[in-house]
């Protein structure tokens, strides 16, 4: 055998083929859902995965408002934000966030599992999260993904 037949190939950004997947988050645990979605956004499920190239696929998450937490996290977990003003700390629980921003919980969980920096931001842009069961990406012919 020729030694050159065992060379490791590196994916080029122009050669990456992207697929579209739909994930139904109804009754799924937020953290487990987010880790699997982050893996697909990153492209680690593909044999030509390259760490410094965005080779992941697009993911559409529907029914994000019906994703659940285990234990008492629905009431005990806290999301912090700061307005930038003195005393401007805002603390919200998932229960409060579901009423105002139902998609934030899934988006935040996935974003925290992606790389930080420009590459991670590009990966995050391929995530589409919707609170209901409808999405406007029918033209892309997304395939259902069982997690």
CATH number at residue 34: 3.90.1180.10
Does any domain span residue 135?
Answer: yes
Q: What is the pLDDT of residues 79-126, one digit of tens each?
A: 999 999 999 999 999 999 999 999 999 999 999 999 999 999 999 999
pLDDT bin (cut points 50, 70, 90) of residue 147 is confident
Does any domain span residue 112?
Answer: yes
* Strand intervals (E) in 1-147: 20-24, 58-62, 79-82, 89-92, 127-129, 143-144
* Number of domains observed in the structure of the chain: 1
Does any domain span residue 11?
Answer: no
Could you give the strand order of the β-sheet that contains 20-24, starting from the edge strand earlier in sequence? 127-129, 58-62, 20-24, 143-144
Does any domain span residue 3?
Answer: no
Q: What is the pLDDT of residues 35-69, one digit of tens each?
A: 999 999 999 999 999 999 999 999 999 999 999 99
Does any domain span residue 95?
Answer: yes
pLDDT, position 25: 97
Indicate if the pLDDT at residue 3 is higher than 90. no
Token output for 6: 């065992």
| Domain with 85 in it | 18-144
């Amino acid at each position: 055998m020729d030694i050159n037949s065992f060379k490791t190939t590196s994916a080029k950004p122009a050669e990456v083929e992207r697929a579209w997947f739909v994930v139904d988050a109804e009754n799924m645990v937020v953290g487990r859902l987010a880790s699997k979605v982050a893996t697909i956004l990153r492209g680690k499920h593909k044999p030509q995965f390259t760490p410094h190239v965005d080779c992941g696929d697009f993911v559409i998450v529907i029914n994000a408002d019906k994703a659940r937490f285990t234990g008492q996290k629905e009431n005990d977990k806290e999301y912090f934000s700061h307005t930038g003003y003195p005393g401007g700390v805002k603390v919200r629980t998932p229960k409060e966030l579901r009423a105002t921003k139902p998609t934030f919980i899934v988006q935040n969980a996935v974003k925290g599992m992606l790389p930080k920096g420009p590459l991670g931001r590009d990966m995050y842009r391929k995530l589409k999260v919707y609170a209901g069961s409808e999405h406007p990406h029918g033209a892309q012919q997304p395939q259902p993904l069982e997690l």
